[in-house]
A and B are shown apart, each in its own frame.
Chain A
Amino acid sequence: MEEKQKPTNPEENKKSRRGFLNASAIAAAAAFGAAPKAQAEPGVSPIRVPDAIPNALNTPGKPANWPMRGAQIFARVCKDEGLAALFCCPGNYEIINSIVEEGIPAYGGRTEGSMCSAADGFARVTGEITACSGTEGPGFTNMIMNIAAANAARTPLLVLASNKRIADDDSEMGIQTCYQQPTTEGMRKYGKRLIDPKRVYEYAAYAFRQLKTGVPSPVHLDFPGEISNARFKDASELRYFHDKAKYKTDARPHPDPKRIATLAGMIKAAQRPIIVASTGVFYSRAWDALKAAAEKAEIAVVESGPSRGHFSDAHPLSASTAPGALASADLVIFIGQYSMPNVGECAFSPDAKYVRIDPDASDIGRNWPIDFGIVSCEKAALEALASALPKMTHEAWVAELAAERKKFEDQNAEYYKTGLGYTDAVHPAVMAQELSDFLYRGDLARELTTVVAGGYGIARYMRRYLRAHRPGQICNGAYQYGAIGPDCGYAFGAAAAVQLGAGPQAPYKGAPVVAITGDAGFAYSGMEIETMAKYKMPVVLIVYNNNAWGIMSQGKPVHMYLFQENLRYDKIGESLGARGEYVTKPADFLPALKRSYQIAARERVSTVINCQAKREFWTQQFAPGMLGKVEPGCMAYSH
């Protein structure tokens, strides 16, 4: 029941996707260890990846055996629990080295904060548990903004850091004294400073139980020296050491059948029902159940959350690109909406009935008043609902969704036309429409490319034009926390996920990733271009350069809001081992994008496309100016 997007031909799509995937897999194999493209500058040594890097990457891990150290015991639990990847900077050496030895994919980057966001980005496009790590004081505190962003997005992120020996507590012995646990209070689900070496296995179990049950969120463990370095001859020297099947359950809360029957009745009585499919639908991998329930009774579905694609935008029941339809819904079912909007923050009608399905009973009724609640794992609830619902049709509602989607597309086309009229700089609508056409209406299979939608002002445009056709296709950068800056970190993590083919990224393994950021945001994590180049991640990074923190308005001391003009982020890319493209005219954007994508696919080389815009595009003199948003749906980022 997928809607065709003209002029995409699904058969051609299949062909080109297969062809592309094959080609990129071959390129991926060939590229590992290959010499990077030399920058031909006479007398200047080219940037190169030293052989030591591919050599180390090609060296298989060596899982530990008794006798083991504390760090190795912990790393073993990470492996057994399926930790998908580790992103870190040097520090906390015992732990990170032990994790690598266990054969868990690991990446070392340039700042702990960005590596924390990389782990977050990986999770947002796969649903898998990831970890980040840094050294005790400074490495750990460098991650604070990024942990908070992960917490707001409810990411199952394991935050690891070393710490001073317990024996030196309060002493300021040496350097880096930091009380870590109070620092993450309010931005994590569970935290623990390990103090008894013998309980390292037990606390690893605590951590994974928290990460894998209920509403996910970051878990923070800090490892004083005595813990990582403790030596154990055999299991008898540990407390609480037993088989992993005994410290947890795979059971999930299932819905009360009577409540599912009531909900089915409410859906039957409604004329225009809608499901708001959010974070919990993605993390419980409930996309098939969601589709089955929606199709059975022709229920509209609108997405929200840090990740998009668990319900395809191309489906005739999708309302993610039909903001005009939201006010028509007469029954709204929030599923897995962990960051709950307040009244006014969603465009639904005050006359609609409201239902919430959530694994956490204590959250149901927070912010948005509800008429009916169901406590359940999202997947279990959707499966139960799909089987309880009789076959139903809502023809007029389906037609209204189609009309509202068209209205939205027409408005986007209108913005594009206006944007093309500005020829002295690249307007965001031009970038957004042309990127959208390239990714979804050209030669590429529309579900192929994972996109990190970052930036601030540019994101207001991009979100309207980016489309999600399968789970994890869009990482919604600024979701809830609204942080400017983690984008290059997210991009690295998303690229790592696609290169590994982790979780729902498996069919797209090896494909390039596209990321968008602003010039202010670039400053926080742009050094990770070097990490992309080092690991040969095929990323096309579009920097919207408007010479400003885009929130500038009248009457402010502008020197604090403006940058120098005509800065060259493409040259930063080049100087860090990636390519650079400098785009100053609208007509140059698409060719630069095509070149960058092709080189990413063929050679696994990243590109920074510097798109020169101007800050006046956010003012009312340059229609349409700074755009607002309607939530939920493709524009949503608060909730």
Chain B
Amino acid sequence: MKLKTKPSAGIDAVREVLEGYATRGVFRSYSELPAKGAKAMFRFHWLWNAPFTLSFDAGRQAILFEKLLDSVPPGSPVDLSVRRFLTEAAAPGRPEHRRLDPRRIGITVSNRSGALTLRFRAKDGEIEPAVRKAVNLVNELLASHLSMEQPEYLAKVFRLPED
């Protein structure tokens, strides 16, 4: 479902990338939600068939995975593990194709009452690669990093089948 949004810089680029994932079946049950002004919001089912929300703030050139994870007390092992992963994503030793270039994309993690939001800001104004990078990093964070480090937490929040 496409909504008429005020043409704002970047929204089309975000939409195009996400629709691409939906067309390929990576995202399912994809839809764009009503949003005001220079903002856009998308919902889709993705990892473990769980619903995810991605929003885009054209004014700030920022891609947000809002409330990506809940039940994460600040300073808890899960909170620290997420932050460590994102720091390491920018480490010079990482292969180029998986590395986050901090000069081009800035990441902020915020924890409000145990809900973690990840914010990716396209510092260079290049939206398309920033969206891809954000989606890939969230994929790696959940399907690889936390799957290894915090399996019990993931099983609980994503209601994965019990052992």
Contact = CB atoms under 8 A, between A and B. Distances in A.
B147 interface: yes
Contact of A327 (B25, B144, B163): B144
Given A323-B148, A369-B24, A628-B150, A349 B136 contact: yes
A626 B46 CA distance: 26
B152 interface: yes
A346 B25 CA distance: 15
Interface in B46-89: 46-50, 77
Say whether chain B's binding surface is mostly helix, strand, loop, or mixed.
helix
Interface stretch (A197-205, A210-218, A337-345, A565-573): A337-345
Given A350-B136, A456-B163, A630 B95 contact: no
Contacts of A351: 132, 136
A326 B144 contact: yes
B136 A482 contact: no
A324 B147 CA distance: 12
A327 B24 contact: no
B97 interface: yes
A328 B97 contact: yes
Contacts of A629: 147-148, 151
B142 interface: yes
Most buried by B among A349, A350, A456, A630: A350
A3 interface: no
A349 B95 CA distance: 14
A155 B98 CA distance: 38
Contact of A627 (B47, B50, B95, B148): B148
A183 B43 CA distance: 42
B143 interface: yes
Interface size class of B (residues with CB under 8 A): 20 to 34
A171 interface: no
A350 B97 CA distance: 13
Contacts of B12: none
Given A342-B48, A344-B48, A400-B95, A350 B151 contact: no
A327 B139 contact: yes
Interface in A304-329: 323-324, 326-328
A564 interface: no
A630 B136 contact: no
A628 B48 contact: no
Contacts of B97: 271-272, 328
B149 interface: yes
Interface of B: 21, 24-26, 46-50, 77, 95, 97-98, 132, 135-136, 139-140, 142-144, 146-152, 154, 158, 163
Interface of A: 271-272, 323-324, 326-328, 342-351, 369-371, 400, 456, 482, 551, 553, 620, 626-630
